[in-house]
Amino acid sequence: MDALFDSVMLSRLQLAAMAMVHISFSVLTVGAALFIAVMEGLWLKTKDPAWYGHARFWSRLLLLNFGIGVVTGLPLEFAFGNNWAPFAAKSAFFGEILGTETLAAFMLEAGFLGVMVFGWNRVSPKLHFFSTCMVVLGSALSVFWIMVANSWMQSPAGVTLDGGRIIVTDFREAIFNPDMVFSTAHMYVACLQTSFLVVGGISAWYVLKGRHTAFFARSFQAALIASLVIAPLQVWIGDENGREVANLQPTKLAAMEAHWETNPEGQGASWIIAAWPDEANQRNLWAVEVPYALSLLLTHSPTGEVKGLKDFPKDLHPPILMTFYPFRVMVFAGFAFLGLALWTGWRWKKGALVADRLPGETWLLRAWMAAGPLAWAAVEGGWVTREVGRQPWLVYGLVRTSEAATPLPAGTVAASLAGYLVVAGLLTAAFVALTGRVLARGPDPSTLEPPQAPAAH
Amino acid sequence: METLQIYLPDYFFLALGLILFLYMATDGYNLGLGIFSLAARHEEERGLMIGSIAPTWHASQTWLVILGGLLFGAFPVAYGVAMSALYIPVMLMLAGLAFRGTAIEFYHESPRRARWGLAFGLGSLAATLAQGFILGGLLSGMPVVERQFAGGFGDWLNPFSLLVAAGGTAGFVLLGTTYLAMKTDGELRHRALKTGAMAAWAVLAGLSMILLWMTLQQGRGGFSLLSLRQGHYIYLTLPIFLFEFAMLQRSLKREEQDRPFQWSVLLFLTLVVGIAAALYPTAVPPGLSIFDAAAPPRSLWFLFAVSAVLLPVMLAYNAWQCLVFRGKAGQGGESNY
């Protein structure tokens, strides 16, 4: 209950709420924009109007998603001044990367989105396709720059402390910090994976209902082909990422795995499937373990050393439960998607995915419908692991979270947090209701055929 | 390089002024239109208003995102100070913008249009008032100790900022109605122009009172226009402002096509130039200068390179998007997804 009266804790909760709401919309924007660009490109190449119909249908959903994604994300940018002013003043690098992101990425998305969604009859098809590609590029650059900023907080390279301020000594090192490459790849692929699973899940729903079966069998197949590549790719990137964490942030890794004792030489560290960590006494009350697995995963040797949490002072331990279980949600989901991709690929090989046989694959279609929500859970789980696991640091090893918050009255932050939750809750409920309405109505017949003579401005 | 380095804060002061102007001019008309939509006669009219800005409002709002991002990157200390001091009005603005933005996207998809129309109008009004309080709060002065805000979190609410909020609302209504007049025909256009003329007078009255207040009264930390190094520069813009005002009224009376909107935008440009010239080199009045607030030189160089290349490109594609959607609203299938 103390947390409710602690201004710093409330500011942390508020930032977490803003980030968790915002990310759930923006992952879809990133992947859906790419999906639409592929559909539109196929239309231009093959002249098959069905691809055009797909681009139009998914654009309509993208627009609903984009608006709420932007307005729930706007508070995040200001939060670094509002709630984290000492951090803003201290760490110029973070601000300039955020500034770069707004210039290089956000305007590119917003500056071409209007033409992409509303400009079908106003510009030539080629110019329209160019606009769609610019939105895709803008959204990809958004992921890149925000991951540069965040990964620098995880592994702050290329900087030095000078009179209480963090000064950049080498931009290349700071931008291409050790955590950046794999975490950016992990996040971008997560955006694609979530989006394609949602596209596939929605398509599966239509096919199950027997509505527009031929139309949605096509987007289902497209989502499937993408998943066959993405699911194994993401598992591999995730594994690389995990080994980076072990190198760069051993306390986060130990918390993720509830790993208390460093394994003695000649013995392997076990991977814990489930456990109940007892933080006060620095042990697990119970644990289900796979012997040698953790050493194997991280060091590729059955007895490789993995540092336990007890090797670090207690005040550097992140909260264990909030790191351990969200991580497991993400890992479970990642393997579930791999299984789903293999299952679907097998049915594809058996010829069961053609439009007239697909409705019979009831369980497969249901599994796809469940995969969308699970992908969201994976994204949120991954981010909670990443951010909670970094504690007590805001910038790992340099700035503590507790010394970076604006000394706001707790009541003010509590009120703004409550306000954010109410507004975001209302708007999300409306978003869900309206998306449901658009889906229930299905594709608008007037947008399924390309305009006869597109105006060329 | 060393000698050029001292001009970097000046460059960012200019760039931020330009972006502030672009935000006020472009999102100002969206927000003003939102406020005017509260007086729409029927739902169809409101649908037309929302449709007229649906393709471009994202880009307009993004100038605010860039304003925040560049302020954070170039003047992190000012960003921290101002955002802490203005915590409450910033939150109100964000809530207003959230309702405004989602309302634009949801309106045409919803079976309850009247409700989203109201969210569009009230959200715009709340965001506009909050932005007035933000500007008023900033111009009231903010005490700074060791690079952190050292005043009260309620300082932004005072009679002066109330006056700025009222003036700013009139200004955005002026932009919104003259924009709408450009985009529509007939009775709605006529009504928009009439409201625009009243809003213009309110802007003039509000601005005169604000100027008088800033000249005669002392802000927090004891400063007035006369105590700022170049505070008097703002008076030099007055003749230009008055000329533009007269031209605006004339074009409103003649019900000209695009001129009223163009003169309104010029009024805002003159205003931003006047305020910037008066404040320079202050980042946060009374005492925090752009040199004290700036990021370390290497960081400024980085952001200079990025922004000097990208700002012209952004201006170009934004202008192109506006060009694609030029003409009267509802003629290119704007509400046609």
Q: What is the pLDDT of residues A222-232, one digit of tens each?
A: 999 999 999 99
Q: How confident is the model at residue A452 (pLDDT cuts 50, 70, 90)?
A: low
Strands A159-162 and A165-168: antiparallel
Query: Are A71 and B295 an interchain contact pair (Cβ–Cβ within 8 Å)?
Result: no
What pLDDT score was predicted for residue B85? 94
What pLDDT score was predicted for residue A321? 92
What pLDDT score was predicted for residue B326? 84
Q: What is the pLDDT of residues A323-364, one digit of tens each?
A: 999 999 999 999 999 999 999 999 999 988 888 888 889 999
The answer to whether A139 and A133 are in contact (CB under 8 A) is: no
The arithmetic mean of pLDDT across residues B142-171, rounded, is 92
B152 touches chain A (CB under 8 A): no
Closest residue in B to A430 (Cα–Cα): B106
| Whole-Å CA distances, A377 to A120, A142, A329, A383, B25 | 35, 21, 7, 10, 41
Amino acid at residue number A185: A
Q: DSSP 3-state assignment of A63?
A: helix
C-alpha to C-alpha distance for A240 and A234, rounded to whole angstroms: 10
The arithmetic mean of pLDDT across residues A248-265, rounded, is 92
What pLDDT score was predicted for residue A281? 87
Is a pLDDT exceeding 80 seen at residue B220?
no
Q: How confident is the model at residue B335 (pLDDT cuts 50, 70, 90)?
A: very low
Is a pLDDT exceeding 80 seen at residue A412?
yes
Q: DSSP 3-state assignment of B284?
A: strand
| Closest residue to A434, CB basis, from B54, B110, B317 | B110
What pLDDT score was predicted for residue B90? 96
What pLDDT score was predicted for residue A445? 83
Among B residues 97-116, those touching chain A with beta carbons less than 8 Å apart? 97-102, 104-106, 109-111
Closest residue in A to B305 (Cα–Cα): A100
Is a pLDDT exceeding 90 seen at residue B328?
no
Contacts of A416 in chain B (CB under 8 A): 87-88, 91
B66 touches chain A (CB under 8 A): yes
Compute the C-alpha angle A331/A335/A339, nearest 5°.
165
Q: What is the pLDDT of residues A157-209, one digit of tens each?
A: 999 988 888 999 999 999 999 999 999 999 999 999 999 999 999 999 999 99
Please compute, for residue A106, the number of CA atoms within 13 A of its CA located in the half-sphere on the CB side: 30
Q: What is the pLDDT of residues B76-117, one digit of tens each?
A: 999 999 999 999 999 999 999 999 999 999 998 899 999 999
The arithmetic mean of pLDDT across residues B245-250, rounded, is 96
Q: DSSP 3-state assignment of A56?
A: helix
| Closest residue to B76, CB basis, from A68, A88, A416 | A88
What pLDDT score was predicted for residue A4? 60
Contacts of B317 in chain A (CB under 8 A): 108, 111-112, 134
What pLDDT score was predicted for residue A3? 57
Q: What is the pLDDT of residues A101-129, one digit of tens each?
A: 999 999 999 999 999 999 888 999 999 99
What pLDDT score was predicted for residue B221? 65
Is a pLDDT exceeding 60 seen at residue B247?
yes
**Looking only at Cα atoms, what is the longest distance across chain A?**
75
The arithmetic mean of pLDDT across residues B37-44, rounded, is 93
**Beta-bridge mates of residue A401:** none
Is a pLDDT exceeding 60 seen at residue B8?
yes
The arithmetic mean of pLDDT across residues A265-289, rounded, is 89
- The pair of structure tokens assigned to B18 is 């330009």
Question: How far A205 CA lies from chain B's nearest CA (Å)?
Answer: 21
Question: How far A351 CA lies from chain B's nearest CA (Å)?
Answer: 35
C-alpha to C-alpha distance for B56 and A20, rounded to whole angstroms: 27
DSSP structural state of residue A261: S
What pLDDT score was predicted for residue B249? 95
